[in-house]
Amino acid sequence: MQYITTINYVIGMTFFICYIYQFIYIIIPFVKKERHTPAGGRNRVAVLISARNESSVIENLIGSIKAQTYPAELVDIYVVADNCTDNTAEIAESCGADVYKRFDDINIGKGYALDFLIRKIWEKKGENYYDAYLVLDADNVIDTKYIEEMNNTFCDGYEILTSYRNSKNYGDNWITAGYGLWFLRESKYLNYPRYLAGTSCAISGTGFMFGKRVAKELGGWGYYLLTEDIEFTVDHVIAGHKIGFARKAVLFDEQPSTFSQSVRQRMRWAKGYYQVMCHYGRDLLSLAAKKGSFSCLDMTLNIMPALVLSLAMVVINVAALLTGLLIGESIMPVIISIGEGVCNMYTTLLIIGGITTITEWKKIYSSPLKKIVYTFTFPLFMMTYIPITIVAIFKNVEWKPIEHTEAKTLGEITSEI
């Protein structure tokens, strides 16, 4: 059974080799200054919101859009009430949004809803009326300068860009804090370093903008996998586009607060990663190897190796334990090796979470005690991805909505301690 220690060491070193560059990312914001982006020209923006039974939260999102410093006459709000059975459409319309109802129990998911909405907008306004499209989720709330900051980065030459993702309900429990800390880390120590280094950032669910040329090339939206955001990112990285990052454009969204909801959502994400790699993996690897595209390599590493290595680790160690029990050989070396691996993983994630908590302390709207406690639970939250990603391989996963109930205004979010 001593060979298991060697195998686990090899897997651990492979993890380290694959992701050491992300530790270099952590250093970049401290050593490289951000190029000053001057105020850009004024672009006409269509805000796209896909909402399914979001009557509890849609009003606060639209309110935060209407409270922007950006000229209101250049911002139009569009909502697709997607298979709604509540009064989401009526509330959105009463708040001043243009609303389109969609009922389709076959083509289900945000990708189909966005495509439907863009086509409706084009029927009404034409393909050239809006300079840019901003995609938000119904549970979001945005900072008052959000669109202004997104527009500035858009004017800096980025036809696709994403924003800083924060949380409405960070302090609810260890689950919401786990999500929140991950997204803060993704913003500060993945997308921001990518932006500073001149490589491509990655779209993460919500809070992203793309220009009319991109929309016209797509003929609408056109991405329908379970993780349409990752699919959108990878397709454009393969095409050679650089996705920008607007650090000062801050968005708040609601995180699932129950473990069952979290598992369902992350199961969809894991399955979506597999789908993206099946569809785009060959092109990503080809461009990374043949043309030296770091962006393609980065996206490949960001999506796949952790899933594969985690699966390999679990399968090999479970097989070793079962073999030892069947043949009567001591399984203590396996248990010790597993324990060492878990400790190393916990420590690594604790360092990542700790750095993020310290540097983003003022942007985490929760009590000091919760900030500290949830830093230590963050590794446990992340480690629950391992069984989820394994089950996702074999499970038929379908898109299902996550219930949102955190009806908070921007002032209520930022006043929490």
Confidence grade of residue 341 (pLDDT, cut at 50, 70, 90): confident
Residue 378 in tokens: 């963050």
pLDDT of residue 2: 67
pLDDT of residue 1: 65
CB-based contacts of 394: which residues, under 8 Å, 6+ apart?
Answer: none
Q: What is the pLDDT of residues 247-269, one digit of tens each?
A: 999 999 999 999 999 999 999 99
Q: What is the pLDDT of residues 23-75, one digit of tens each?
A: 999 999 999 988 777 777 899 999 999 999 999 999 999 999 999 999 999 99
CB-based contacts of 326: which residues, under 8 Å, 6+ apart?
Answer: none
Mean pLDDT of 365-383: 97
Q: What percentage of the chain reaches a pLDDT higher than 70?
A: 99
pTM equals: 0.94
State the chain's mean pLDDT as an integer: 93
Provide the CATH number for the domain around residue 340. 3.90.550.10
Q: What is the pLDDT of residues 349-363, one digit of tens each?
A: 999 999 999 999 999
Confidence grade of residue 417 (pLDDT, cut at 50, 70, 90): low
pLDDT of residue 311: 81
Q: What is the pLDDT of residues 118-156, one digit of tens each?
A: 999 999 999 999 999 999 999 999 999 999 999 999 999
Residue 332 in tokens: 């203590």
One-letter amino acid of 25: Y
Radius of gyration of the chain (CA): 22
Number of domains present in the structure of the chain = 1
One-letter amino acid of 198: G
Q: Give the integer Cα–Cα distance in Å for 339 and 40.
A: 54
CA distance between the termini of the chain: 51
Q: Find the domain containing 403 and state its range.
A: 1-33+42-417
Residue 225 in contact with residue 275, Cβ under 8 Å?
Answer: yes
Interaxial angle between packed helices 228-238 and 110-125, expressed in degrees from 0 to 180 and rounded to the nearest 10: 70
Q: Give the integer Cα–Cα distance in Å for 9 and 5.
A: 6
Residue corresponding to tokens 């393909």: 127
Q: What is the pLDDT of residues 277-297, one digit of tens each?
A: 999 999 999 999 999 999 999
Q: What percentage of the chain reaches a pLDDT higher than 90?
A: 78
Which helix (H) or strand (E) segment holds residue 314: the answer is helix 305-327
Q: What is the pLDDT of residues 87-106, one digit of tens each?
A: 999 999 999 999 999 999 99
Residue 124 in contact with residue 100, Cβ under 8 Å?
Answer: no
